[in-house]
Structure 1
Amino acid sequence: MFAPIHTRKVRKSEAARFAPHIVVAALFIVMLIVGFLIWSGREIDRIASERDRSIVSLVLAQSIERVGHAQESSTVWDDALREARRRPIDQDWMDLNLGIWFDQYAGFNEVYVLSSESVPIYAMRGGKRKVPETYIAIEDVADPLVMRLRRTRGSGKVGVGGVPMISPGASDLAILRGRPAIVSAKPILSDSGSIVQKPGSEPVHIGVVYLDNDFFARLGSNYGLAQARYEISPSRAWGEASVPLRSRDGDVIGYFVWHPFAPGSEVTRSVGPVVLLVLLLSAVVIYLLAGRLASRTLDLEESRSEARHQALHDALTGLANRAMFEGRLDAALSRCRREGGLVGLLYIDLDRFKQVNDSLGHPAGDALIRQVARRLTSEVRGYDMVARLGGDEFAVLVVEPESREAIGQICERIVAEIERPFDVAGAQAFIGASIGVAVAPDHGADRTELTRRADIALYKAKMEGRSRFTFFEASMDEVVRLRETTNRELRQALLDCDEQLKVFYQPVYSTVSGRMVAVEALLRWNHPVNGLVNPAGFIQQAEESGLIEVLGGWVLRKAVDDAMAWPDLRISVNVSPVQMRSRAFVDNVRAVLNETGLDPRRLELELTETALMSASEEVSASLKALRRIGVACALDDFGTGYSSLSHIRDIAVDRIKIDRSFVHAVNTGPGAALVEAIVNVARANGLNLTAEGVETEAQLSHLRSLGCHEVQGYLLSRPVPKGDITRLLEGGAHSFSDTGTESS
């Protein structure tokens, strides 16, 4: 059972002979493992050190850009530009919006505002207003930035964080008052573009943020940089790393110092001196190192995934952005072409969102957008896609719906859901949703064509009253083509207004004297192919295409010029709200009056009731400014809109014009009662009253008996050219009796 003693000795000897080799091999393996561990540890330390340096450089760059982004919240603003140009400067306004506000909101330590001539006009330091001359303490650093900024052309850029700048800027790191600081210069610009600015002469807003120890300690805490601090010179201490803080010119203004994390060294030190445990400890160390490497790999992959997510998703709502949506739409259309079925595309535009944004502020508008995103997502299926295309525009991709009716049901739910009130900024906001729908393959199997037709349907939905959905129809394409043709031909007509555009005048008569007291200017387009075209055929398209200001300005000038030949008549001109919203409109009217010498009291501007009641504060301000120079305001088509007496008093109109639909019903009981009520409203509010569309003697007689001040209509005269008005006046045929109507 047992081996002989000799055999055991031989085996022992052989084992003894091979023992040194085993020991050497074991020692060699141990040395390889230890050497590998030492090398791995140093490599890991190097990678960690490079990672820390990259983080420090990136965070410093982002901190500088964050200052510029904070400035843009108030420097791209019409009000800020006006206040910076105002003399004397309203220091309280500057405190609230460009100075102390930045100290409290963005943590700015110092703020300065320079005029367009680079003269300091405002200063804030430490949350308190200072004399502008305080700027002298930083001018050596700030002046080069201002000079570089004034040479800058174009808008902003996309920064390190991927967030685009909306205005140019210049920033730098510098030593101010013995401390490191970020200095950022931004031009004060017009956000609407309506204020003319000569490039290089903008007022400049300068912000200073000191990089104190709290800043570096917070950076170290957030990014795992132990003992992070600022030093004038690089650290010589063992185990510490330094990164120079450089100005734009490359000058070193100090060093960011920290104690880098050295995971490799930590692992190496954990290996004990006992050789017998080396293999076991090596296995443990390898396991630990593998775990650490896996963790870093996972972190890197997560960073890449986050970058991909940000590239394909909207930052505010988390919804898909336009790029991701278009990719999914292309894939769905490709599947539709291969396998059949339907694809629904919904373009959604929020109604009345701008009013909420303007009244409650942009933060409230952002909160409202996020709530809308959640409601839209809740109303579609899990495999459909909701995307935010920008601003208050959304899109929904309905994948393989059962039918058009199913798409319509989704639209109905969305419209109803968006009409429910939103709780925003402690108040309830009421908006709506207009939806344009295109369905593939019925409306096209190409993304470009399908999106174009969804957009056309959205336009139709908004034109039909908003808070509704509309499916694309082939006839809409013809409407779009007709609109484009009209716009093109109207532009051509504006190149030679006197050739194609004509102004006709319809007389207005007094019911008391029976005499002509005014004329209303009415634009006609003498189209070279279609003949005489009424304004209803092209005015709305002129408003949408931006031609209305040129067109309306020409009509105003022409009407006022012609009115100079009729010194006893008032001239009434229809005006678009788009014109009234222009800040130059009041100045243009004043210029026309000054150049022609027309008495402002003879000019009356007419706006439709619906347009006037839904107009912005700019329109109301323009009307008040016009009335101050003597120009009157008339409310056209009264009774067809949604005005109230309070609105009429607020806008302070001088005249209301009864719509022809009420005049035509004056011979009926309800119609007569309604016209009588309008007359009483005018009388109670001290307003003049004109009835439009008088076509019968009975209508005229009834209006006179009710006390209507003035009348116009086909019974008295159709719109006629200027020469006919002159002949009526010169021939004495300018009263009821002269026109064949019973005179008073």
Structure 2
Amino acid sequence: MSARHDSSPLTHQVTLTVLTLAAFALAIVVDFGFYAANQADEASLERQKIFIADGLNDQIAAVQREQESVTVWDDSVTNVRAGNQAWIEENLSTWMYSYYGHNRVYILDAANHAIHAMREGKVVAASAFGEDEPELRPTIDKLRHMLGEPLKADASGQPAKMVAQDLVSLQGKPAILSVMPLVPSSDRVSQAPGTEYLHISAEFINDAVIGKIAAKYLLDGARLVPLSEPVGPAAVPLVDSRGVILGYIGWDQLRPGLTLVRKIAPALAIALLVAGGVLVFLLRRLRRASAALQTSQDQAQYLAFHDTLTGLPNRALFEDRLRRMLLFAGQDGTHVALLYLDLDRFKHINDTLGHPAGDELVRQTAARLKHTIREADTVARLGGDEFAVILLDIPDAGSVEDIAERLLMKLREPFRLIGDQVFVGASIGIALSSGPDTDADDLLRKADIALYEAKKNGRGRYEVFAGDMDDLLLRKRKVESELRKALDGDGGIKLAYQPVFAADGRRILGAEA
């Protein structure tokens, strides 16, 4: 029986160890699986972003090709020079909308003045160009600069295309912008440098355009995401040449890794449930005991250094902070102020309204003190209606007096206790650290003496500790001590009588002791 009894704890330990190791190994496998799936999803997302970016570049190139079909044309140059608005409308503006889907077209003369404008397939006043000009101007200037430079060749040796493009925001909507000069397609029409008319075409990046891009790469849910909406990981920013984000192209992310995990999830879930169930059964009691112990320790730690009624630091934490702050102040060359505060009519409130009202008064007082001082300072409850405040980095006594006055004014405001409005007030004693050698106990004593003086001089006020207060208190305590000794001893006090004479100075009427 003894052997069986001795082996039971060991068996339990071994079983628990094996189960823990098994759970650990399973967790590693699961984590690795999710890691691999996540990596596959991340790689797929990067490919999807490349697809969208390439598709957007293709669409920009398509806008340029479509625009080039009408800008490199003898008829375009001659009819625009002649001001043939009907021809311009049919071939350079509304046709660009109906055939290619370009949303806005502007024709500018050599001085960059608009001579024709089209929006959404309808010719509008040329002055409409002014609404979009601030967004279009940088690209127009860029093309004019290119036209003023010597003609360059591209990589194939052919003359480089004269085109300036960008992404812009027109009335809050992102668009592909392409600006090209109207140039002859043959030598039959001559054109002097600097006299070129400009063809400006803008195609909004809307859901239809994005849908064409996404369809090419089999991406679902492609849409335009404005800046006002949150954007997920499956998104590509629409950035102009200055680096400003105009919006995003978003889509439903393809997640091959997650899809695979979902397929194997049922079998994996069963394995996890079996292993987890055994592990939970074995660890449940230990967790409960550990949680209860931790809660108990946390509560004991809190109660050891905080007042249960107000949640403020208690005397132990207060004295520890005071010593630390004096040490830091001594190293930094700054001053610390200590305020002792005592409510003036606390006993009366307890006697008339009861202890619940007194407790509520203490809580409200603590809240007012905490909201009046700085966050870096400390307010503590020392017991009953006694509070203490530690103020850091105090330049002079005047600053402390200003704070004390604010505290007194705050505490003079009426308190609402159990449906009644009561007025309390307080007395404050102040002591200032004198240098790096200031002792915490000595500062406490001085603040206590100053509080005593404040109460003695009428309450509802503050007093700053001065050296003569110490002397007066010492003399008072000396008289008190000597009087006690005299009362306890024999012959320490003698009774003497002084006669009381009549007005004539001859007759004795009585005596006073």
Q: TM-score range by the shorter chain?
A: 0.3 to 0.5
Which structure exhibits the higher relative contact order, with contacts defined as CA atoms closer than 8 Å and separated by 6 or more residues?
A: 2
Structure with max Cα Rg: 2
